[in-house]
Homo-oligomer: A and B are copies of this chain.
């Protein structure tokens, strides 16, 4: 499978759509490469998502200026040494033509262009970058302080706020080019999960499975969209290391997704048994989480409030755990008293797009919308999204079940359930430490489209994929 390339016209359309929403000029910085440990050793450059959205190319240190109905790119002029170290570079004329821009100009003309655009540079709107060097550069260009990573604190009523709202309005609903990117990224990332399943028997450490998955992502020209989680300690929700040995009774949780060269993310979690066969208790809990996930996916429809999707997952999980004898009593009552969050303490998902948590740099402004605020209730307070779903929005659906000792031992979190949590029954499920099942789902005019459907998901499909590998 070769990844699709977005047509240049898609970016031109996005730029026009932004201009139609803007009253004044706006500047987007691409960002600067980040050095790892000394100046000449860089992480691969990944441009700011806003910049990528409107240009589709990652040009270090560049900036895109929208002003007076034009879109101009400002970039470093090729230096004499560049041909020596970096090979032939496109001319500005070639860049202009390739990206259908109004102009491509050297960076040193940007201060003048800002004055022409806005009366004063300070009136040009921008969005803060994550990297400190670019934030400092924007500050000096615009004559006001822009602190890195502060897109979530932009003050209302400012030009920056208006720009943030305009960008959010565009980026929330994906266009055809974006959907093609998300589909391809999810499909290739699904292959990585299949590769992980196939590499598990015979592997001795988590890192060997992670290696197979990373290798498969790269084989499709995908970078990591985020640091992969591949662990037998699935109950540790943020677990960036892959150092544990694999033992036959373990479940392995893999939360791994790639990013296309244009920057679009996938975010998929699967869980499989190291031995190739789920134990009866693992199968039972897995099916409980799967039921919750399928019920939640079915609700990804036009007009559904995302919090309701979250609640569906929680109630379905509580009902399934009640069927297993872990909870006792009335499902609705259990849910109201916080039963779901004891085992599923995070939100059911988030926006997906150019970022894994799409638009999270702009804070809850994007994913909650006007007038909606986060719940203060344990579990629900971590819900990252609460919009009414619309066609073109992509979200993850990722309920889980985790036995987190710090939660199970905390009476402030479990007290309201009391004896309705049957800890003797729970004990029988000790071989389930953490399960999460996560798909990427596109809201459409009709049924939800599961972008990551190629990743084996039922216990039967997972076991079949693993058995197939063993036969090879």
Q: Interface size of A by Cβ–Cβ distance < 8 Å?
A: 62
- Give Cα A356 to B39, complex, Å: 12
Known: A46-B37, A83-B406, A405-B83. A218 touches B207 (CB 8 A): yes
Within the complex, what minimum Cβ distance (angstroms) separates A368 from chain B? 16
The chain A residues found within 8 Å of chain B, CB to CB, are 31, 34-46, 48-49, 83-88, 130, 132-133, 149, 151, 205, 207-208, 210-212, 214-219, 221, 226-227, 233, 235-240, 242-243, 261, 345, 355-357, 360-361, 404-407
**Residues of B close to A214: CB separation below 8 A:** 214-215, 218
Q: What number of copies of this chain does the assembly contain?
A: 2
Within the complex, what minimum Cβ distance (angstroms) separates A28 from chain B? 13
**Residues of B close to A355: CB separation below 8 A:** 37-38, 41
Is A407 in contact with B243, judged by CB distance below 8 angstroms? no
**Residues of B close to A407: CB separation below 8 A:** 84
Q: Which residue of B lies closest to A382 (CB)?
A: B85
Known: A218-B215, A221-B243. A49 touches B37 (CB 8 A): yes
- Give Cα A130 to B131, complex, Å: 13
Known: A35-B130, A218-B211, A360-B38. A43 touches B237 (CB 8 A): no
- Give Cα A216 to B218, complex, Å: 12
Within the complex, what minimum Cβ distance (angstroms) separates A243 from chain B? 7
Question: What are 9 A-B pairs at a CB distance below 8 A?
Answer: A38-B357, A41-B226, A87-B233, A207-B218, A208-B219, A211-B215, A211-B217, A214-B218, A221-B242
Is A39 in contact with B84, judged by CB distance below 8 angstroms? no
Known: A43-B227, A208-B219. A149 touches B85 (CB 8 A): no
- Give Cα A239 to B34, complex, Å: 17
- Give Cα A238 to B227, complex, Å: 25
Is B37 in contact with A34, judged by CB distance below 8 angstroms? no
- Give Cα A215 to B214, complex, Å: 6
Q: Which residue of B lies closest to A409 (CB)?
A: B83
- Give Cα A240 to B261, complex, Å: 13
Specify which of A38, A85, A86 lies most central, judged by the most chain B CB atoms within 10 Å of its CB: A38
Q: A345 is contacted by which of B84, B217, B261, B404 (Cβ under 8 Å)? A: B84
Within the complex, what minimum Cβ distance (angstroms) separates A39 from chain B? 5
Is A37 in contact with B84, judged by CB distance below 8 angstroms? no
- Give Cα A153 to B199, complex, Å: 48
- Give Cα A133 to B132, complex, Å: 8
Known: A37-B130, A86-B238, A236-B87. A205 touches B221 (CB 8 A): yes
Q: Which residue of B lies closest to A208 (CB)?
A: B219
| Nearest 5 pairs of A and B residues by beta carbon | A215-B215, A211-B218, A87-B236, A83-B406, A38-B361
**Residues of B close to A149: CB separation below 8 A:** 35, 38-39
Is B237 in contact with A84, judged by CB distance below 8 angstroms? yes
**Residues of B close to A86: CB separation below 8 A:** 236-239
